[in-house]
Amino acid sequence: MATQRVEALLERTEPSFLKSCNTTDLQETGEGEIMVPYLMDCRRKQKQAFNQLCVADDMIQLLAGLESVDQLLKEPCPPKPGNEARSAWKALKAEYKEKVQEVEELIGDLQTRMEQLQQKRNKLENLLVTLHIKKEECKEKERITAKRNQRTEKQIVFELEESIQAAQNTMSMCDMQLAKLDNEVEKLQTRVSDWRLLRDGLQTLVTGTVKKSQFSLLSSSPSKLSFELLPHAAEKALEPLHVSATITSADEYHLQVFQGTAGLIEEVMNGPLRELSTTLVQLIEKYLSQGEMLSEIQALHYRFAIDWCPAKKHLIFLKSASTVCHLRVEEGYPSHGQALLLSVKKDGCALDITNLQPPVPQPALKDWLEFLSSNPNI
């Protein structure tokens, strides 16, 4: 019953006194002249509502303790209501003032910082203005530099055009001189042809007097000859050199040298037919210049399983199916160069050849092969 009475009492109280102060819309306007009176009026209304609530609370407590209506009439007048609530209100008011003071101090600090920020902002604006001025100056300098470079490029292009024109004139003069020289060269070539005919005749006579070699004809046809050159001028006998000569319809020769067991590099030589005898003499001289080395290699073919690579001057010795030795012959061997062991491979793996050396100073190919074939460690 007491709760229902309190609710009825609150309903009869003026609703405007109990309504909370909503200041959101006024704060958004930002007008201080309107906010201050409005907030003061709200505070006054809150005080009136608080007093009414205190009275209502005391009335509720009094009515809750009464057992009948007669007791209400007999009871003395209660003390001034709201003392405890007023004390709590004053405490809250004091706390509110303290917080307000703290807020005012924070506002002062904030204003100081705002002033500092404003000063820094002014400095930044000044710096931006200065930067803009410098930027415009740089742009102006770039435009001036671009114009200067453009003038320089035009001057360079003009000079290049003049140089090209002068070069073209010079080339025209050179073409005229070249035409004159071509005519002179044709005349000289005619004279050279005459001298070549005379030289070929002399070469034929010289070839007839050369007794360094003979030849053995193997086969012949209207356009191809196969023969062996048999050199006898070397101190040691050499294997015959197998040569094939093909004569073309344009009076030119095509000479094929086969290596065989001779030890020379297989090569093909071409040239005019009248120079064939000269080429053969040069081939024999080349073969004889390496006669001592080649005769030694040819003799070793009958004793050891070797393979000679004349292009690299390498000698491959197959000691067994799993052991392969590689030797190299220096230029001028045997009078000036030496025979050196490059590697020994057994079952595909390279062996250490540091201590492998025949017991003779400056060993020849024969010494190396005899040493490798008799060495039990290989």
Alpha helices (H) along the chain: 2-12, 15-18, 24-29, 32-65, 69-74, 83-209, 276-289, 291-300, 365-374
Least confident range from 7-16, 307-316, 344-353, 363-372: namely 7-16
| Residue 322: CB atoms within 10 Å | 11
Q: Stretch 218-236: mean pLDDT, rounded?
A: 67
Structure tokens at 73: 């009439």
What's the rounded Cα separation, in Å, for the pair 6 and 115? 55
Per-residue pLDDT reduced to its tens digit, 350-364: 888 888 888 888 888
More confident residue, 25 or 112: 112
DSSP conformational letter for 248: -
pTM for the whole structure: 0.35
Least confident range from 12-16, 50-54, 189-193: namely 12-16
Structure tokens at 100: 């307000």
Tell which residue, 340, 336, 338, has the closest CA to residue 326. Answer: 340
Q: Is the dihedral of CA 341, 345, 349, 355 positive or negative?
A: negative
Least confident range from 17-26, 211-220, 258-267: namely 17-26
Average of per-residue pLDDT values in the chain: 77
Structure tokens at 290: 């390496």
What's the rounded Cα separation, in Å, for the pair 47 and 52? 9
Whether the predicted pLDDT of 131 surpasses 90: yes
Structure tokens at 305: 């399983």
Q: Stretch 286-308: mean pLDDT, rounded?
A: 81
